Amino acid sequence: MLDLVQTIDAYRLLVFPNRIRECRRAATIGTLMELSDRVPNIPYIRLSKIERGEIFARTEELVEIAAALRVSPLDLLHDVTDPSFDIADWAAENAGLMAVDPEVDHQSVALAAALRVRREADSAMTIGAIERLYGIAPVVLSRIEHAVKPWPRWNTDTMSALCGIFDVSDTAALHAKVAALQRAGQLVDAIAAAFHPRVRIGKSSARIAELRRQLSAGASSPPAPREERRSRVPGPPATSLRQPRVVPVFGTPLPDGLIARVAVDEQKVEVPSNAGPSSYGLRICRPTLGLGMPANAIVIVDPDRFPGPGGLAIAEEEKGFRLVAVSVNRNGRMVGYVSNSEREVKLDDIDPSSVAAVIAAIL
């Protein structure tokens, strides 16, 4: 029997442990938002994920961050192969991981492995087919297969779709089937290949070594002067002949004003030229912000942008998405409001990757 406790890496999402937060505090830059203002070429959400070690920084990003912190880019790197480096200690100080019940985490990993095995056994079970037949968007499918969050945090529609993929009637039957596959030893290889600590360590050490090599080879020259950097405010299109870009529309109503990220047939909408590559349309389903934003309105959501006061945002909650109007309370904290209830969403307390800016609306 596979020993899940020893095999599953509790820190599998922290691929890029670094010293950015340590150096930021040493530079008396108290908040990440303040650092973000000093590195305008790096979106806040991406900067947040880099500091927390969830994604690798590019060489030019390390150079820009280091210039803002007045350190060498090499000073921002950890040597994860050093015996004195402890990922648990680093995570406690830098990552802000949410506590997860180990049993739930093991179930989430087993489900991820079972889904990988199911897809490998059926060549027709492609990413596109799963989206078309079961309504699971590619980004959601990837998050499930990497056990990015505990399975109870997936909404009812997603769990129902997974039940369909495994041809079972409900969530209890799904877990029973996954447990049976695990007892039969059919998930051993999939779990070891994707979730063993050596996978993260190998990936981290190889990429950090490459970053160190690039920086040492001369890529650590100072960034271009601020006036030469790309402006955060998008300019006009380079040509009037540019083809419009369209993105899929999601959104079905859930209780309590929430919205499920379920595809709306094959509907697509055009997005502004400054929309990021991960942007999508979201039907709000209910006039939760008042009559000025009717239920049939579609908002354009850009996950690569962090919202600001006076704008709109999508906050990801445990059971779905919530559209909120962004403001700042008397304590200077950013909050989201819903006009038809007394609900107040404390945006500063939410993982930045779970908050996205609304950049346009189609009424």
Domains in the chain: ranges and CATH: 8-97+203-219 (1.10.260.40), 102-195 (1.10.260), 247-362 (2.10.109.10)
CB distance 2 to 188 below 8 Å: yes
Dihedral angle sign, alpha carbons of residues 52, 58, 59, 63: negative
Of 60-69, 217-226, 347-356, give the lowest mean pLDDT range.
Answer: 217-226
Q: Centre a 10 Å sphere on the Cβ of residue 180 and count the other Cβ atoms it contains.
A: 11
Question: How much is the pTM?
Answer: 0.62
Alpha-carbon distance of 279 to 302, in angstroms, equals 4
Assign 201 a pLDDT band (cuts: 50, 70, 90): very high
Which pLDDT score, from 0 to 100, does residue 6 have?
56
Residues 54-64 have pLDDT tens digits of 889 999 999 99
Which pLDDT score, from 0 to 100, does residue 220 have?
47
> Under DSSP, is residue 231 helix (H, G, I), strand (E, B) or coil?
coil
Both tokens assigned to 318: 């445990």
Q: Centre a 10 Å sphere on the Cβ of residue 213 and count the other Cβ atoms it contains.
A: 11
Residue 188 in this model has a pLDDT that exceeds 70: yes
Residue 224 in this model has a pLDDT that exceeds 80: no
Assign 222 a pLDDT band (cuts: 50, 70, 90): very low
Residues 109-168 have pLDDT tens digits of 999 999 999 999 998 988 888 988 998 888 788 889 999 888 888 888 889 999 999 999
Nearest to 304 by CA among 359, 262, 267, 263: 359
Alpha-carbon distance of 249 to 262, in angstroms, equals 8
Alpha-carbon distance of 208 to 80, in angstroms, equals 8
Cα distances (Å, whole numbers) of residue 282 to 133, 253, 291: 20, 11, 17
Percent of the chain with pLDDT over 90: 36
Residue 294 in this model has a pLDDT that exceeds 70: yes
Phi, psi at 333, each rounded to 5°: -95, 145
Which pLDDT score, from 0 to 100, does residue 255 have?
86
Both tokens assigned to 148: 């990015």
Alpha-carbon distance of 202 to 209, in angstroms, equals 11
